[in-house]
């Protein structure tokens, strides 16, 4: 086990959700010493809401070794992406808390892939159960309008988690891709279709413009499509309702095709340029903070690449390069 994996906090708390024990690397993970955590409310220590703290407590008391992820907010700092392994310890609800960003920082690729594969596996089974329950409830024609709205929200969040699993899974895969010719425009349209409900809800359209005589690109669509879909959605999340996400396709250097994606709402600072494609580092990745890292990893494995630069009229321009 590496030093990064030892940077964790062990927390225990009472039924009234006040911390009774705190140990480990508290200042690095939860941004305060252990002495300032004991007898404080769980939601304060984890930087979350009281409702989320109650949900975490319920999972811990089931003692099924559940894993939960949440963004912890500590003062004016950016949220800290936390992973909680929940259960009972000496009869008390407890959690082992890890800062995902610190865990991944400077970690070798094999460690990142292994962690992504583990997280994907841990999430997949419980998510499938939640999805089945939501779909079963949705078939009830006697639901009130308010309950129908709640189910719509639940279904949306299930889809979000499914896309996160795709990102984790693709980031973890290190096998040789099976490349086949595919029209770049079709690939983009299929990716947009994956997130069509979310795009419709935000009233944002992906507008694809293609130059004449663009050759087919060599990709493994099944692996690239969900990753590209998440990037399109992330860009759309920053757009105003009724606007478009412009995407252009044109021939690149010999043997290459370029796809240019404009994120008018995302500002690429000089400080962020070097960390843009690092997991959980970039604010432009939005959401889970993994989409740009996963996109680059998948594209590079398939002989392509992705780069970013500040747009001439603001925002950020992403250039995806494919082989033909």
Q: Which domains does the chain have, with CATH numbers?
A: 3-104 (3.30.450.20), 109-172 (1.10.287), 180-323 (3.30.565.10)
Confidence label for 93 from pLDDT (cuts 50, 70 and 90): very high
Average pLDDT over residues 273-295: 63
Percent with pLDDT over 90 in the chain: 30
**How far apart are alpha carbons 135 and 154 in whole angstroms?**
10
Q: β-pairing, 244-251 with 205-210?
A: parallel
- Residues comprising the chain, all counted: 324
Average pLDDT over residues 66-94: 86
Would you say residue 106 has pLDDT above 70?
no
The residue written with tokens 């480990």 in the block is 24
- Lowest model confidence (mean pLDDT) among 19-23, 148-152, 201-205, 283-287: 283-287
DSSP-assigned letters across all residues of 188-247: HHHHHHHTHHHHHHHT-EEEEEE-TTPPPEEE-HHHHHHHHHHHHHHHHHTSPTT-EEEE
Decide: helix, strand or coil at residue 154: helix
Tokens of 114: 């292994």
Query: Is there a contact between 290 and 276 (Cβ–Cβ < 8 Å)?
Result: no
Average pLDDT of the chain is: 82
**How far apart are alpha carbons 171 and 321 in whole angstroms?**
18
Percent with pLDDT over 70 in the chain: 79
5-30 pLDDT, tens digit each: 457 899 999 999 999 999 988 998 99
Confidence label for 280 from pLDDT (cuts 50, 70 and 90): low
Confidence label for 271 from pLDDT (cuts 50, 70 and 90): low
238-247 pLDDT, tens digit each: 788 888 889 9
**How far apart are alpha carbons 195 and 193 in whole angstroms?**
5
Residue 236 to residues 52, 99, 131, 221, 313: CA-CA distances in angstroms?
27, 28, 25, 22, 18
123-170 pLDDT, tens digit each: 766 777 787 888 788 888 888 888 888 888 887 777 777 767 766 666
Average pLDDT over residues 58-79: 85
188-200 pLDDT, tens digit each: 999 999 889 888 8
Q: How many Å from the N-terminal Cα to the C-terminal Cα in the chain?
A: 42
């Amino acid at each position: 086990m590496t030093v990064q994996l030892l940077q964790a906090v062990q927390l225990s708390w009472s039924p009234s959700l006040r911390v009774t024990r705190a140990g480990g690397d508290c200042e690095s993970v939860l941004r305060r010493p252990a002495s300032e955590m004991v007898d404080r409310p769980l939601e304060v220590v984890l930087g979350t809401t009281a409702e989320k703290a109650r949900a975490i407590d319920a999972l811990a008391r089931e003692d099924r070794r559940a894993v939960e992820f949440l963004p912890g907010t500590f003062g004016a700092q950016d949220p800290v992406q936390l992973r909680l392994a929940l259960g009972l310890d000496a009869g008390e609800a407890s959690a082992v808390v890890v800062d995902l960003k610190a865990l991944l920082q400077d970690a070798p690729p094999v460690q990142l892939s292994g962690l992504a594969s583990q997280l994907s596996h841990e999430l997949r089974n419980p998510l499938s159960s939640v999805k089945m329950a939501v779909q079963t409830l949705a078939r009830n024609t006697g639901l009130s309008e308010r309950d129908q709205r709640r189910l719509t929200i639940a279904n949306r969040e299930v889809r979000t988690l499914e896309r996160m699993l795709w990102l984790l899974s693709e980031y973890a895969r290190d096998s040789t891709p099976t490349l086949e010719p595919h029209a770049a425009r079709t690939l983009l349209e299929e990716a947009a279709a994956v997130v069509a409900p979310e795009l419709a809800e935000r009233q944002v359209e992906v507008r694809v413009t293609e130059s004449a005589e663009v050759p087919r690109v060599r990709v493994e669509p099944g692996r690239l499509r969900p990753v590209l879909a998440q990037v399109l959605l992330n860009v759309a999340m920053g757009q105003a309702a009724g606007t478009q996400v412009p995407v252009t396709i044109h021939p690149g250097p010999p043997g290459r095709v370029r796809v240019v994606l404009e994120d008018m709402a995302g500002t690429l600072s000089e400080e962020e340029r070097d960390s843009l494609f690092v997991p959980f580092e970039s604010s432009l990745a939005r959401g889970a903070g993994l989409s740009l890292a996963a996109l680059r990893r998948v594209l590079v494995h398939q002989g392509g690449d992705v780069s970013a630069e500040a747009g001439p009229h603001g925002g950020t321009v992403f250039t995806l390069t494919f082989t033909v």
